[in-house]
Amino acid sequence: MSSDTGKKWYVIKVISGKEAKIKKMMENEIQRNHLEDYVGQILVPTEKTFHIKDGKRIQKDKTLFPGYIYIEANLAGEFPHVVKSIPGVMGFLSGVKGGDPMPLSKKEVNRILGKLDELAVNSGNVHIPFSVGDQITVTDGPFKGFEGVVEQVNPERNKVTVSVRFFGRKTPLDLNYYQIKKA
């Protein structure tokens, strides 16, 4: 957020669930109208989430602030009108209804950008849906079909240690959490 270019951070209200599509349309419209000098960054903050479906690990991007796009821009000339004319854009966030767009404070921008940096560092952290003592069945790998018990959960490594009976003896296995399902 540099003051010499006149660019500040603003929030644009958009149709929830269409943030990425509207961002792409916004980028195309800015390029088509040769307004690149007015814009620094356009952000739709997301975080990676994981869930298990049919024993497979599915990754999905979850929008952190549904219905909002963040833009670093200089709102001079026709730029605000071009942005407002994009389908799905409801307008800039302002202090009063129909008022002038209100820039974010430096503190708010740092909080949002800091949250994005933190998510980039922690994007591997996932909620593991198992607890010690859960009865499980192995769904993937060389021990597929074996039944056992969760002995340990290691969220930092996205692993679980399970105990299965192999040749009549309890054998500990380190598995990815998506290689097992509750029995």
Q: Convert the pLDDT of each residue in 28-67 to its tens digit.
A: 999 999 999 999 889 888 877 777 777 777 878 888 889 9
Q: Is the pLDDT of residue 115 over 60?
A: yes
Q: Is the pLDDT of residue 13 over 90?
A: yes
Cα 21 versus chain centre, distance:
15
Neighbours of 54 (CB within 10 A): 7
Cα separation, 37 vs 32, whole angstroms: 13
At residue 1, the pLDDT reads 40
How would you list the strands of the sheet with 8-14, edge to edge? 39-43, 68-73, 8-14, 89-92
- Say if CB 176 and CB 159 are below 8 A apart: yes
pTM of the model: 0.59
State mean pLDDT over 15-30. Answer: 93
State mean pLDDT over 80-103. Answer: 88
At residue 2, the pLDDT reads 41
Instruction: Name the residue among 178, 176, 141, 148 with its Cα closest to residue 57.
Output: 178
* Parallel, antiparallel or unpaired: strands 180-182 and 68-73: unpaired
Secondary structure element (H or E) that encloses residue 163, with its range: strand 159-166
Read off the pLDDT of residues 151-180 as tens digits, 9 standing for 90 and up. Answer: 998 877 778 899 988 777 888 888 887 788
At residue 119, the pLDDT reads 58
Read off the pLDDT of residues 117-146 as tens digits, 9 standing for 90 and up. Answer: 655 555 555 567 888 999 999 887 777 888
Instruction: Name the residue among 135, 123, 140, 127 with its Cα closest to residue 162.
Output: 135
Q: Is the pLDDT of residue 4 over 50?
A: no
Long-range pairs for 144-147 at CB < 8 Å and ≥24 separation?
147/183
Task: Please tell me which residue, 158 or 182, carries the higher pLDDT value.
Answer: 182
Can you list the domains of the chain with their CATH numbers? Answer: 8-121 (3.30.70.940), 135-182 (2.30.30.30)
